[in-house]
Structure 1
Amino acid sequence: MTTAPEIREPRSTSVTGRIAPQYKRSGGPKGQFEMLAWLFMRLSGIVLVVLIFGHLFVNLMVGQGVHGIDFGFVAGKWASPFWQVWDLAMLWLAMLHGSNGVRTIINDYAERDSVRFWLKAVLFAASAIIVILGTLVIFTFDPCPVVNGVRTVADYCPAS
């Protein structure tokens, strides 16, 4: 007759069934940061759903739909400060939300401290570059550029 294999206790509990001291949550600064990061993920997810569905509705349902999206459509949208702020909020929240999620995955799966450090450094650098470049594009976009010293005039550009 064979005996069933013994099931070991989880690492986080001691023999008495209580949580081992090294696994207890602390109310220190790191615990507070992780709680705020967790809360940010939930709240930013809700706001992102509203922003993204609003973006999709305006781009795909209003006017000519997907067939009307071209350079002029984007130029017309970004001529309004409302749509600049809308797209900026969507960019910033999406990048922060995604970066926070990837940061959590790195913390969970990168075992060595040096690997964890460099992965997060690359993540934060890439996120910062994308946010900075995206913000610059949104606020410095000029639909009527000067080409070879001549200001191009299209139907959506004011007469110069």
Structure 2
Amino acid sequence: MTTQTDIPTPRSPYVRRKTTRGNYELYSWVFMRASGVLLVVLVFGHLFVNLMVGDGVKAIDFAFVGGKWSSPFWQIWDLLMLWLAMIHGTNGVRTIINDYAQRDVTRGVLKSLLYLAFTITVVLGTLVIFTFDPCPPDAPAELLASFCTA
């Protein structure tokens, strides 16, 4: 049962509680807006180049990806898209976990799994982008990009 001392009077000034988080949630909110706008540009640029330019979707094969990732510009483009999408999505799921997971243990386990999945995906994706060999030694010549020597 509450007493009169538990409820502040309507005209009392708002007293802000001290938190240890600082401005993390504000920066997280701003990041979500900025990364969302940048992701729209990156994703639609990616879709335009892959689907509209050239022969369209039927031209996407190993040679297409090999030719594209032989350019540092496209490596950085796809790396930015990967990192921003993963950070953006992880931040959104983190917010959902904070909102809906009621117990601290559940929240901790879910966020640990989320961060583990984020780390594995980003590390593997980054390795694939930068270690991709467009001219593997024993590949059939018809599958290789035009700049590869068979």
Q: TM-score under structure 2 normalisation?
A: 0.85
User: RMSD between aligned alpha carbons?
Assistant: 2.1
Question: Is the Cα contact below 8 Å between 1:144 and 1:152 reproduced in 2?
Answer: no
Matches within 5 A, 1:121-132: 121-132=112-123
SS of 2:135's equivalent in the other structure is coil
Q: How many residue pairs align between the two structures?
A: 142
The residue type paired with residue 68 of structure 1 is A
- 2, 6, 14: which is aligned to 2:7? 14
Tell me the equivalent position of 2:146. Answer: 156
Supply the AA of the counterpart residue of 1:47.
Answer: L
Q: After superposing the two structures, state which structure 1 stretch, 60-69 or 84-93, moved more.
A: 60-69
**Alignment-derived partner of residue 80 in structure 1:** 71
Whole-Å Cα distance in 2 between the matches of residues 65 and 114 of structure 1? Answer: 49
| Equivalent residue number for residue 48 of structure 1 | 39
Assess if the C-alpha contact under 8 Å between 2:90 and 2:115 holds in 1: yes
* Structure with bigger RCO (C-alpha 8 Å, 6+ apart): 2
User: How far apart are residue 155 of structure 1 and its match?
Assistant: 4.8
The 1:88/1:77 distance shift into structure 2, 3 A limit, reads same
Alpha-carbon separation, structure 1, partners of 2:26 and 2:128: 33
Q: Contact 1:145/1:152 (CA < 8 Å) preserved in 2?
A: no
Structure 2 residue 107 is the aligned partner of structure 1 residue 116: yes
Q: CA deviation at 1:66?
A: 1.0
Amino acid at match of 1:138: I
Whole-angstrom distance in 2 between the partners of 1:106 and 1:58: 36
**Contact 2:135 2:145 (8 Å CA) reproduced:** no
Q: Which amino acid aligns with 1:132?
A: V
1:118 and 1:20, CA in 2 relative to 1: closer, same or farther beyond 3 A?
A: farther
Aligned-residue sequence identity (percent) comes to 59
Q: Which residue of 2 is the match for residue 106 of structure 1?
A: 97
Q: Which residue of 2 aligns with 1:64?
A: 55
Note the C-alpha offset of 1:14: 3.5
Matching residue of 1:91: 82
